[in-house]
Amino acid sequence: MTAKMASSMVEHGEDAFRKLFKFYKRRNPPPDFNEVINFAKPINNDKVFHYELNSSPLNEEEVSKAGLQPVKDWRAFALRGYPGFIFISNPFLPGSQQYWAKQCLKNYPQKPNVCNLDMHMAPAETENIWEQSIDGIQRKGSGKREPKTLLEKLRWVTLGYHYDWNSKTYSPDHFTPFPTELHSLSHRVAAACGFPGFNAEAGILNYYRSDSSLGIHVDESEIDHTRPLLSFSFGQTAVFLLGGAKREDRPTAMFMHSGDIMVMSGPSRLLYHAVPCIVPAPAGNPLPSCLSQTLKSEPQNDDIIQNVNEGDWKVCSWYLQTSRVNVTVRQVLGSGQTFPNTETLSGAAHTSMDSCQKSDEEGETGTHKKRKTESGYERDS
**The CA-based dihedral angle spanning residues 287, 290, 294, 298, taken in that order and rounded to the nearest 10 degrees:** -150
Question: Three-state DSSP class for 288?
Answer: coil
Sheet bearing 229-235, strands edge to edge: 48-50, 75-79, 85-89, 261-264, 229-235, 324-330, 202-208, 156-160, 114-115
* CB contact at 8 A, 276 and 98: no
Question: Three-state DSSP class for 377?
Answer: strand
pLDDT, tens digit, for every residue of 110-126? 999 999 999 999 988 99
**Short-list 330, 237, 234, 316, CA closest to 282:** 237
**Short-list 241, 328, 253, 255, CA closest to 288:** 255
Please indicate, yes or no, if residue 376 is contained in any of the structural domains.
no
Cα–Cα distance measured from residue 333 to residue 199, given in angstroms and rounded to the nearest whole number: 9
Phi, psi of 117 (to 5 degrees): -65, -25
Cα–Cα distance measured from residue 367 to residue 358, given in angstroms and rounded to the nearest whole number: 9
Cα–Cα distance measured from residue 14 to residue 169, given in angstroms and rounded to the nearest whole number: 29
Sheet bearing 238-242, strands edge to edge: 214-217, 273-278, 238-242, 252-256
- How many residues in the chain? 381
Residue 146's Cβ-count burial label (10 Å; 0-12, 13-18, 19+) is middle
Task: DSSP letter for 119, please.
Answer: G
Question: Three-state DSSP class for 216?
Answer: strand
Structural domain for 213, as ranges? 3-359
Residue 261 parent element (H or E): strand 261-264
Predicted pLDDT at 347: 38
* Mean pLDDT calculated for residue range 28-43: 92
Residue 256's Cβ-count burial label (10 Å; 0-12, 13-18, 19+) is buried
**The CA-based dihedral angle spanning residues 300, 196, 52, 263, taken in that order and rounded to the nearest 10 degrees:** 90
Predicted pLDDT at 359: 42
Please indicate, yes or no, if residue 116 is contained in any of the structural domains.
yes
Please indicate, yes or no, if residue 43 is contained in any of the structural domains.
yes
Please list the helix, strand and coil fractions of the chain in percent, rounded to the nearest 5, in that order.
25, 20, 55
* Mean pLDDT calculated for residue range 311-334: 95
**CATH, residue 114:** 2.60.120.590
The model's confidence at residue 340, banded by pLDDT at 50, 70 and 90, is confident
* Mean pLDDT calculated for residue range 276-283: 92
- The answer, yes or no, to whether residue 44 has pLDDT greater than 50, is yes
Please count the structural domains in the chain: 1
**Short-list 359, 367, 290, CA closest to 91:** 290
Cα–Cα distance measured from residue 158 to residue 85, given in angstroms and rounded to the nearest whole number: 24
The amino acid at residue 36 is: V
Could you tell me how far CA 339 lies from the centroid of its own chain?
A: 26
Please indicate, yes or no, if residue 78 is contained in any of the structural domains.
yes
Residue 174 counted as an annotated binding residue: no
**Short-list 22, 28, 15, CA closest to 6:** 22
Q: The pTM is what?
A: 0.87
Mean pLDDT over each residue of the chain, to the nearest integer: 85
Please indicate, yes or no, if residue 265 is contained in any of the structural domains.
yes
Around Cβ 346, how many Cβ atoms within 10 Å?
Answer: 11
- The answer, yes or no, to whether residue 140 has pLDDT greater than 50, is yes
Cα–Cα distance measured from residue 87 to residue 34, given in angstroms and rounded to the nearest whole number: 19
Please indicate, yes or no, if residue 364 is contained in any of the structural domains.
no
Is 33 or 146 the better-scoring residue by pLDDT?
33
Around Cβ 175, how many Cβ atoms within 10 Å?
Answer: 16
- The answer, yes or no, to whether residue 231 has pLDDT greater than 90, is yes
Predicted pLDDT at 43: 82
Residue 217 counted as an annotated binding residue: yes
Residue 219 counted as an annotated binding residue: yes
Please indicate, yes or no, if residue 367 is contained in any of the structural domains.
no
pLDDT, tens digit, for every residue of 53-94? 988 888 899 999 999 999 999 999 999 999 999 999 999 999
Cα–Cα distance measured from residue 193 to residue 61, given in angstroms and rounded to the nearest whole number: 18
Predicted pLDDT at 243: 94
Please indicate, yes or no, if residue 39 is contained in any of the structural domains.
yes
Cα–Cα distance measured from residue 97 to residue 119, given in angstroms and rounded to the nearest whole number: 30
